[in-house]
Structure 1
Amino acid sequence: MKQFLVFALLLITILAFGQTRTTGSMNRWSAEKANAWYAKEPFLVGANYAPANAINELEMFQADTFDPALIDKELAMAEGLGMNTMRVFLHDLLWQDAEGFKKRLDQFLSICAKHKIRPMLVLFDSCWDPYPKLGKQHEPVPGIHNSGWMQSPGADALSDVSQYPRLEAYVKGVVGAFKNDRRILAWDLWNEPDNANDNSYGQNHTIKTELPKERKIAIITNLLPQVFQWVRAAGASQPLTSGVWIYRGPEDWANSAKWSPMEKVQFDNSDIITFHQYSNPAELEKIIPVLQKMGRPVICTEYMARGVNSKFQTHLPIAKQAKVGMINWGFVAGKTQTFLPWDSWQKPYVSGREPAIWFHEVFKQDGTPVDPAEVAAIRQATGK
């Protein structure tokens, strides 16, 4: 029985792998169109953003907790650094209040425009809690990084094909409403789609609530090409992407024969190439030319984790010289608690102590920089 299940999962993955060329890549931007779009953009610098009072994307955008005043205050801080983009996560459950959500998203985009920021909007996300629920969100778990962030779609929706029309309605609805909106930089269709949260909700943690790893990856490998088609069918005028993130070394992304089925879906369908890089500057210098050989614009949509030597001072000059946009994780410390390292899931930073080195964030919650030298480095890179 076990061998049969493994074979079935493999067959699903192979079918998904083959489908991308006939379905997913239709109407993809040409490299020429993508490069012409990028040539008009400045050096893109920003952060993955959620306001300090939001534990997740639901709390950011639900009617009861949406806080435009705080967003305005924090994005003014970003403008002061010369940041010109933000990567912002949406959620499929927000579409249950479609008109209200569109109104709040429009208000958010107006605040962004006020501060000369054009965000990249993320539609789906495979990271953290697999069982999202609308309504009041729980308080942060003391000492743990991203203790309340929610996957979109959750495990129940991924496992139930009868919910896929609801997911399609969300994608087409939100993209269709803003398909020609110049305030939006790009659409990131799925964050880390093959992330099985091994060390938090997945196979290596004490309490396991994730879908089985192989099953989850097989489902999304099949679903992601459809999501690309939903967005294209909705008429998006902005470029589309889904970023690769499982960094094994430059030789793996350089050789298409070594791409995983999911990476093939992402590389073959994205108008612009995006990637995550939580590693030292030497590794960044190695990977940029590999990705640029694909002939499309390249943007790093996650970096900057001090504990693994991924920093503003080292990475921004490298990226600026190569004209690779850079979007770090975290902006103002708050309820996400992403100033705590990933290993807090194994060893929570309790008793009110802070880690010796803050992992993410540019600013503390009182608005002071975590490190003034970093703020200077960002301003130097942006020319502010």
Structure 2
Amino acid sequence: MTLVPRDYRGFNYSGSWGTSALDLWQHHDHGLMAVEIARGKGYFPGWNVARWWLSHESYQRKPARFLANFEAGLNIFADHGIAVMPVLFNRWRDPTCDFGGVPLEHIVPWFTNQGNAPDLFQDDDLASRDVTRVQLLFSDYLRAVVGEHLDDPRIAAWDICNEPFSGPYLHDDSSEVRAAEVRWLDWCYRAIKRLGAAQPLTVGNRQYVKAVQLTEHISDFLTFHPYYVGSLTDRENQARWEDRLDQIMAIGRAAGKEVAATETIWGALDDAAHVALAEYTLGELRKRDLGFIVHALHHSLVADLHFPEYGPVGPPECLHFINADGSLRAGHEIFNRFV
């Protein structure tokens, strides 16, 4: 299942049964997952890669069960010819329906009383000093999840973290918070490389040039989340967004690295409006020979993947392609035009 990023044609996946990453993995439903992945492959035969969101918090609570469910899920995808990009950590937080993930308190030393060492996440040798508890927990998780799949052909790549720098400090070059987050990401990258992972590593950035620049050195290929937000008749807004695509592509060319979109297509409650956004967005990505992983495959109780009758709906509205009853949202076979 060897894939290069430009050939990605896929979907993000979070199961329908949970409201957050911890909920999904603590109450993992293997049978329902198998049904949902089969539905997706049936509607979208060219689907070749899945970005599958994990939960380090669930691993901490029930390691053996988490690992067994992870292994079983990899097999479901493989049975359908779909390679997997696991998302190891998450930094996207949503006040409407929070997905959970790594809080700043765990990676910025002065935010926590779990050990205030100013060089947190800078030391490569965990045995060399009294490291903090959170550092040990992250190390154990990476060793267990990545370390058991170092050359697993079912895994296309490892996404170290979804949407770091989720705050205005991204654009503040003097921010100590940003510097600490970069140190944590650097540490994760080095830890995975020391384990011997054969698969490439990347960071799932928001669609900001600065975020891609900050993580280029720890990305074997570059990934970002090009969501066009706004009217499809606002040519000035479209031009600004398209220019951002080109700037990020230029970073990749300068670094000699491929670029892929690992989340894309902004949401809408109205099916036709969502299809229009999909047509424009995927058309611009295809012009640039960008591989893409759409967010997201299936209805879920997590943020932005359900209609109001299933729970809180935030500003992105609904991004999923398959409804709760298993039917395809009207017009959403448009994905197949770009495969």
TM-score tier, shorter chain, comes to 0.7 to 0.9
Which whole-Å deviations, capped at 9, do the CAs of 1:27-78 have from their partners, x for residues lacking one?
A: xxxxxxxxxx755x7731222211111212222222xx11111111111122
Residue equivalent to 2:265: 304
Deviation at residue 93 of structure 1 after TM alignment: 2.1
Residue equivalent to 1:235: 196
Q: Does 1:333 align with 2:293?
A: no
Contact 1:120 1:187 in 2 (8 A): yes
Identify if the C-alpha distance between structure 1 residues 277 and 246 changes in structure 2 by more than 3 Å, giving closer, same or farther: closer
Identify if the C-alpha distance between structure 1 residues 218 and 66 changes in structure 2 by more than 3 Å, giving closer, same or farther: same
Deviation at residue 217 of structure 1 after TM alignment: 3.0
Identify if the C-alpha distance between structure 1 residues 305 and 350 changes in structure 2 by more than 3 Å, giving closer, same or farther: same
Distance 1:74 1:275 in 2: 26
5+ unaligned residues in a row in structure 2: which ranges?
Answer: 116-131, 170-174, 230-237
Contact 2:260 2:292 in 1 (8 A): yes
Distance 2:312 2:90 in 1: 30
Distance 2:244 2:327 in 1: 34
Counterpart amino acid of residue 166 in structure 1? L
Q: Does 1:315 align with 2:254?
A: no
Distance 1:240 1:361 in 2: 26
Counterpart amino acid of residue 324 in structure 2? Q
Which whole-Å deviations, capped at 9, do the CAs of 1:91-135 have from their partners, x for residues lacking one?
A: 222333322222111000000111111111111111227xxxxxx
Query: Runs in 1 of length 4+ with deviation above 4 angstroms?
Result: 307-310, 349-358
Contact 1:362 1:369 in 2 (8 A): yes
Distance 1:72 1:86 in 2: 13
After TM superposition, the score normalised by the length of structure 2 is 0.75
5+ unaligned residues in a row in structure 1: which ranges?
Answer: 1-36, 130-143, 203-213, 248-252, 254-258, 342-348
Q: Does 1:180 align with 2:151?
A: yes
Deviation at residue 297 of structure 1 after TM alignment: 1.4
Q: Does 1:71 align with 2:21?
A: no
> Per the alignment, in what secondary structure is the counterpart of residue 184 of structure 1?
coil
Deviation at residue 263 of structure 1 after TM alignment: 4.3
Contact 1:118 1:183 in 2 (8 A): yes
Residue equivalent to 2:129: none
Deviation at residue 155 of structure 1 after TM alignment: 3.0
Matching residue within 140, 149, 152 for 2:99: 149
> Per the alignment, in what secondary structure is the counterpart of residue 299 of structure 1?
strand
More deviation, 154-163/361-370: 154-163
Distance 1:231 1:182 in 2: 17
Distance 1:354 1:177 in 2: 37
Q: Does 1:380 align with 2:337?
A: yes
Distance 1:157 1:301 in 2: 24
Distance 2:207 2:73 in 1: 31
Counterpart amino acid of residue 177 in structure 1? E
Residue equivalent to 2:220: 271
Matching residue within 55, 64, 67 for 1:102: 67
Contact 1:224 1:265 in 2 (8 A): no
Distance 1:239 1:168 in 2: 19
Q: Does 1:287 align with 2:233?
A: no
Which whole-Å deviations, capped at 9, do the CAs of 1:1-36 have from their partners, x for residues lacking one?
A: xxxxxxxxxxxxxxxxxxxxxxxxxxxxxxxxxxxx
Q: How many residues align structurally?
A: 293
Identity value in percent: 23
Deviation at residue 284 of structure 1 after TM alignment: 4.0
Contact 2:260 2:290 in 1 (8 A): yes
Identify if the C-alpha distance between structure 1 residues 351 and 335 changes in structure 2 by more than 3 Å, giving closer, same or farther: closer
Counterpart amino acid of residue 30 in structure 2? P
> Per the alignment, in what secondary structure is the counterpart of residue 243 of structure 1?
strand
1:215-230 alignment to 2 at 5 Å?
216-230=177-191
Q: Does 1:54 align with 2:18?
A: yes
Residue equivalent to 1:132: none
Q: CA RMSD, aligned part only?
A: 3.3
> Per the alignment, in what secondary structure is the counterpart of residue 83 of structure 2?
coil
After TM superposition, the score normalised by the length of structure 1 is 0.67
Counterpart amino acid of residue 333 in structure 1? H
> Per the alignment, in what secondary structure is the counterpart of residue 242 of structure 1?
strand
